[in-house]
Amino acid sequence: MSFREPAFLAGLVLLPIALALYAALQRRRRDAAAAFASPELMPNVVTGTPGWRRHLPAAFTLLALGALVLALARPERTVAQPKRQATVMLVTDVSGSMSATDVEPDRLAAAQAAAKTFVSKVPDTFRIGVVTFNQYAELRLPPTSERSEIEPAIDSLLADGGTAMGDGLQRGLDAVEGQLRSQRATGDRRAPAAIVLLSDGKNTAGETSPLDAARRARQLGVPIYAVALGTPDGTITLSDPGGFEQTIPVPPDPQTLKELAGVSRGRFFDAPSAEQLESVYATLGTRIGFEESKQEVSAAFAGGGLLLLLVGGALGLRWFGRVV
């Protein structure tokens, strides 16, 4: 919790002062009662004592004072609110290594399921595009808010070929930049944009260095959320025309993905299993789809303070014929 007017918190020093005054008042009342009658006669004059009840109205009043001081300081709480608009490009590796089965049922199928989870988590007003890359990068779906077009694009992915990660990022950034130009042309306020990059291997093809693409993303203000899919034990089996099979290790390359996320001011995630990948994409949907904002709650503190004041005064009048 934060406060818009923290200077008013200095008023909290009134609480120990009020407590000291109340204690002094109680001593004065006891002294006055002792002066009124001798100790020998007190049991005959006073048939019972209020005990803890005599302090309850004062306690409510003290709490009310604290709540009202906090209300003056204008407290705020942080709440997550859905963003109205944004552009998110799903840039997904579809190289041959995505057929590895170290992530069940295989890496590509897990990526497709996680991408659908992501789409379900972000607001319907978001524009989502799909870019894939193997030895070539392809814009499968320009950014759109039509959800009926996104799932078929995700389902159509097939694993084959090399890994042109840098080119894939460039295609994603081209699509984002096109959206930004459209917003400028229509006078609309710039909507935030992000890239969700999923890959399971090193960059082995293409014309663009992934780090160069990440630097461009930073210049455009587009963070890259990079996800490394797979385990160090992942393998695929390839067959040559003669029928000879060869098993090739295909471990992920988390170091490169970490660098891309760092350069672009995004974040890196590691997903060695389908469950963890699903969790990562669900988290990303919430992170990208919502933004934190401050909400003032002064009215709640002021209302609570007045209620406590009324309760304390009512108890004092009912039990002792005075407010405190």
Write out pLDDT tens, residues 123-182: 888 999 999 999 999 999 999 999 999 999 999 999 999 999 999 999 999 999 998 888
Same domain, 58 and 184: no
Given this model, what pLDDT does residue 41 score? 52
User: Which tokens sit at 322?
Assistant: 């005075």
Cβ neighbours of residue 184 closer than 8 Å, sequence gap 6 or more: 190
Same domain, 90 and 59: no
Given this model, what pLDDT does residue 112 score? 96
Specify if 277 maps to a domain: no
- What pLDDT band is residue 324 in, cutting at 50, 70 and 90? low
Given this model, what pLDDT does residue 38 score? 54
Same domain, 130 and 247: yes
Specify if 202 maps to a domain: yes
Q: What angle, 0 to 180 degrees and rounded to 10, lies between the N-to-C axes of helices 254-264 and 210-220? A: 20
Report the pLDDT averaged over residues 7-30.
Answer: 83
Specify if 124 maps to a domain: yes
Specify if 290 maps to a domain: no
Domain range holding 314? 2-78+295-320
Element (H, E) at 60: helix 56-72
Same domain, 47 and 92: no
pLDDT at residue 244 tops 90: no
The rounded mean pLDDT for the chain is 87
Q: Are residues 173 and 129 in contact, defined by beta-carbon separation less than 8 angstroms?
A: no
Same domain, 72 and 197: no
Same domain, 89 and 230: yes
Given this model, what pLDDT does residue 240 score? 75
Specify if 285 maps to a domain: no
pLDDT at residue 113 tops 90: yes
Specify if 152 maps to a domain: yes
User: Which tokens sit at 72?
Assistant: 């003056």
Percentage of the chain exceeding pLDDT 70:
87
Beta-sheet strand order (sheet of 137-144): 137-144, 127-133, 87-93, 193-199, 224-229, 267-271
- What pLDDT band is residue 294 in, cutting at 50, 70 and 90? confident
Same domain, 28 and 124: no
Same domain, 122 and 248: yes
Q: In angstroms, rounded to a whole number, what is the distance separating the alpha carbons of residues 231 and 109?
A: 15
Same domain, 194 and 63: no
Specify if 134 maps to a domain: yes
Among residues 235, 257, 272, the one where a domain terminates is: 272
Same domain, 17 and 163: no
Q: What is the pLDDT of residues 181-224, one digit of tens each?
A: 888 878 777 788 999 999 998 899 999 999 999 999 999 999 99
pLDDT at residue 249 tops 70: yes
Given this model, what pLDDT does residue 210 score? 96
Q: How many separate domains does the chain show?
A: 2
Same domain, 95 and 70: no
Least confident of 11-15, 124-128, 289-293: 289-293
Same domain, 74 and 143: no
Q: Which of 106, 109, 113, 222 is nearest to 175 (CA)?
A: 222
- What pLDDT band is residue 290 in, cutting at 50, 70 and 90? low
**DSSP for 258-309?**
HHHHHHHT-EEEEE-SHHHHHHHHHHHHHHHHEEEEEEE-HHHHHHHHHHHH
CATH number at residue 238: 3.40.50.410
Given this model, what pLDDT does residue 35 score? 62
What type of residue is 26? Answer: Q
Report the pLDDT averaged over residues 288-303.
Answer: 79
Specify if 314 maps to a domain: yes
Going from the C-alpha of 175 to that of each of 116, 166, 261, the distances in angstroms are: 20, 14, 19
